[in-house]
Each structure stands twice: as C-alpha cells, then as structure tokens.
Amino acid sequence: MDIPKLLDRITLAPGKRGGKPCVRGMRITVHDVLGWLAAGMTQQEVLADYPELEVEDIRACLIFAADRERHMGRAAA
C-alpha cells in the first residue's frame, strides 16, 4: 500500500466546503465518509450510494484521520 499516493486523494481548497479536507476535489469531505462508516454503513454501501467514490478514497480518508489523530496525540502529550 502506497500511503503517500493514497493521501494525494485528500485535497484542501479554501473555497470548497469551508476548507475542510475533501476527496479528490469533490464536495465529499473526509468527515462525511468517516461519519457514514461510523453510522454503520459498510464500504460497499457507501460506494453504492456515492458511485463517484472509489474504495481507495475510503482508505485515504481512514489513513488521513489516523494520521491526524496521531499528530494530535503528540501535541497533547
């Protein structure tokens, strides 16, 4: 798994969704994807409801969130 390449799927644009991290420049945010998964949707359900997403996008969101959490944990220590 090429993590840097997956993370390239997460984009930040000041004018899009308030500058929140989005998937491949779309209006779907990392938070949206994580929220759907946390609510109990499976990856297959997310992909069926949002056909513009790819399985690698979901992975990228998870990696992005894990990396952000890791950095936040260091700042609090």
pTM reported for the whole predicted model = 0.87
Query: What's the pLDDT score for residue 73?
Result: 62
| Domains in the chain, CATH or no CATH each | 3-71 (1.10.10.10)
Closest by CA to 52, choosing from 23, 21, 11, is: 23
Coil, helix or strand at residue 1:
coil
2-60 pLDDT, tens digit per residue, is 999 999 999 999 989 999 999 999 999 999 999 999 999 999 999 999 999 999 999 99
Structure tokens at 75: 């700042």
DSSP H helices, 2-54, are 3-7, 30-38, 43-49
